[in-house]
């Protein structure tokens, strides 16, 4: 979707993060795969991406990014039981540090 096609309500939600797991470990792979599988199963999530952060300008190692059509969808995602469960059971225990950034047009 081009910028001109996006609604003014559109939100790009992104988090960059580092895990407590060793780089290249099975635990790291499982977290990234589970995050993608679980979060993409939430109907309001669009264009989910998993990234490996490569800039030497910060210490984060990974990124998740996803799009929402509007604020209501973003809030529905935040409150969705699968998101809440992932945050409580995985994110809080396996993520060492993170930075969340949300963008609008």
User: Residue 62: CB partners within 8 Å, gap ≥ 6?
Assistant: 16, 17, 18, 19, 32, 50, 51, 52, 53
Report the pLDDT value the prediction gives residue 8, as an integer from 0 to 100.
83
Q: State pLDDT tens for residues 37-64.
A: 999 999 999 999 999 999 999 999 999 9
Kindly indicate the confidence band of residue 6, based on its pLDDT and cuts at 50, 70 and 90.
low
Report the pLDDT value the prediction gives residue 4, as an integer from 0 to 100.
44
Question: Strand 11-19's sheet: what is its strand order?
Answer: 46-52, 62-68, 11-19, 95-104
Lowest mean pLDDT among 6-10, 32-36, 45-49: 6-10
Give percent above pLDDT 90 in the chain.
Answer: 91
Is residue 31 a contact partner of residue 92, using CB atoms and an 8 Å limit?
A: no
Query: Is the pLDDT reported for residue 12 higher than 70?
Result: yes
> Hey, how many other C-beta atoms are within 10 angstroms of the C-beta on 100?
10
Residue with tokens 């060492």: 96
Q: What is the pTM of this model?
A: 0.89
């Amino acid at each position: 979707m081009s910028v001109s096609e996006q609604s003014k309500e559109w939100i790009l939600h992104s988090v960059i993060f580092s895990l407590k797991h060793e780089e290249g470990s099975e635990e790291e792979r499982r977290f990234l795969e589970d995050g993608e599988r679980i979060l993409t199963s939430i109907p309001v999530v669009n264009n989910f991406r998993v990234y490996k952060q490569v800039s030497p300008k910060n210490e984060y190692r990974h990124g998740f990014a996803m799009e929402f059509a509007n604020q209501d969808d973003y809030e529905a995602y935040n409150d969705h039981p699968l998101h809440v469960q992932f945050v409580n059971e995985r994110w809080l225990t396996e993520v060492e540090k993170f930075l969340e950034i949300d963008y609008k047009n």
